[in-house]
Amino acid sequence: MNSLIETQPYVAVNPCRLCAPLGACLAFKGFERAMSVIHGSQGCATYIRRYAISHFREPIDIASSSFDEQAAVFGGEKNLRKALETMVRQYQPLLIGVVTNCLSETIGDDVPLLISSFKNIEGMPPLALASAPSYKGGWEDGYFEAVVGAFRAVADKEPGKSTEERTAFLPPLMSPADLRELKRIGDLMGISPLIAPDISDALDGGAWEQYHRLPPGGTPMADLRAIGGVKSVIDIGAGSGISRAGDFLKIKFGRKVHKIGLPLGITATDILLEKFTEISGVKPPETLLSERSRLIDAYFDGHKYAAGKRAVIVGEKNLCGALILWCREIGITPVLVASTGGSGKLTDLYEDAASNAGQDTMEVLQNADFDTITTAAQKGSIDLCFGSGKAQGMARELDIPLVRIGFPIHDRFGGSRLLTAGYRGTMELFDRVVNALIEKKQTKIPGGYSYL
């Protein structure tokens, strides 16, 4: 039996594609023995589990307060209490993220008040709130909301000395492979990184000899409690201007915060290493310099394939910002960028990025569905697309290769192991871009393969 699910050749609009609670639940997976409960309709929790598992291929338990008709009209206090009691009894989590969804937000349930009244229930761990109505933002917004919620719920006012020599990395949703790469680079640069949240083990673990109700991994609770005492903070999510996690640590604990975009490309990775040197005083070691040098060599070798190509970029704000700059680094012109968020600020942000990259014009679409993006792309003579697996229908319609990047990737295997961070990650991505362009050319050559 064919196990691949045949989808419509083209999915125009899926309103839950950007589900903010989905991002919040993924962020909570990055803290030790943390669990999420969706406060609202049960189907949302099922949808989110399925969506996340298809990408990460790891068990993901998400509870639900399972609104019925009564709760939808009169509020879900009783349901949430029951859900929390069940979670404590069956899982003994160290942190519970209460994630409001479209329904509970629409009826106006006073969840902060409910949470404060549940704190005294016996055995209840800290409760973190992530307010995540999807009509106000996409999954990236929900992710950052959850990170701040976890900090607010757990970080102590007096964090003590256990983290004072460490640097906190606050990443957006990066692949487990990228997080491991960040740790490796941090270690090489004399930084002892405290990554929060850290999904690298919880969402890309090994085979278990015995069953765990909650997977091992995540930012240890002791570190999260003491995060306010770190030496400095690198807020990687700040590239898009939507991460508030660094601001929280700055305002509440007076930490020094370095705001950077995703370390994708030579320029962006150089910036990361400069920050590391500023913090630790350690210069990049030979290992990293060789990786940088090999990447430059790869750029030379692949230049004839990539240079002059025109791309459409579809994705979350952070990723789009990083890809705009990187495309120009390798000679590709991003002519159309479609991202989440309807504030209008993205246009300014991306136009800044485009002009920094030496480009005059670039169309920016916000909150657009794939139908709109495809129509805009058809005018632009595009050679390739960067996007999640959800862009495959669009790429097929445009007859261009899709370089899969970001989240979610449901139509290929190994999404959690895609490496794009640092010099090594950039090299892997560059190889994929060049090979996608070569493959496209190859299909047009009668007789198949030739020297290209």
- Determine the Cα–Cα distance for residues 62 and 117; give it in Å rounded to an integer: 22
Question: Which window, 15-23, 188-196, 333-341, 345-353, contacts ligand SF4 (CB under 6 A)?
Answer: 15-23
Shortest distance (Å) from residue 16 CB to ligand SF4 = 3
101 binds ligand SF4 (CB under 6 A): yes
Site for ligand SF4 in 109-138 (CB under 6 A): 134
Query: What is the DSSP code (8-state) at residue 283?
Result: P
Cα angle 122, 128, 131 (rounded to 5 degrees) comes to 135
The side-by-side arrangement of strands in the sheet containing 363-366 is 363-366, 333-339, 310-315, 384-387, 402-404
Count the site residues for ligand SF4 by CB under 6 A: 8
Phi, psi of 126 (to 5 degrees): -55, 140
Q: Is 102 in the site for ligand SF4 (CB under 6 A)?
A: yes
User: What is the smallest separation between the CB atom of 38 and ligand SF4, expressed in angstroms?
Assistant: 7
Q: Which is nearer to ligand SF4, 146 or 398 (CB)?
A: 146
Out of 35, 44, 185, 279, point to the residue binding ligand SF4 (CB under 6 A).
Answer: 44
CB of 180 to ligand SF4, least distance (A): 29
Stretch that binds ligand SF4, among 13-21, 26-34, 123-131, 345-353 (CB under 6 A): 13-21
Q: How far is the CB of 64 from ligand SF4 (least distance, A)?
A: 10
* DSSP letter string, 89-137: HHH--SEEEEEE-HHHHHHT--HHHHHHHHTTSTT---EEEEE--TTT-
3-state secondary structure of 373: helix
Q: Which of 16, 53, 107, 438 binds ligand SF4 (CB under 6 A)?
A: 16
Q: What one-character-per-residue DSSP string does 375-391 give? A: HHHHTS---EEEE-GGG
DSSP summary character for residue 365: E
Contact 333, 310 (CB under 8 A): yes
Q: In the complex with ligand SF4, which residue's Cβ is closer, 21 or 30?
A: 21
Query: Nearer Cβ to ligand SF4, position 16 or 298?
Result: 16
Contact by Cβ (8 Å): 37, 63: yes
**Maximum alpha-carbon separation in the chain:** 73
Closest C-alpha among 51, 53, 82 to residue 65? 82
CB of 67 to ligand SF4, least distance (A): 11
Fill in the per-residue mask, 175 to 214: x = in contact with ligand SF4 (CB under 6 A), - = not in contact.
----------------------------------------
Closer Cβ to ligand SF4, 21 or 408, answer by number: 21
Among 11, 47, 188, 310, binds ligand SF4 (CB under 6 A): 47
Give the binding site for ligand SF4 (CB under 6 A). 16, 19, 21, 44, 47, 101-102, 134
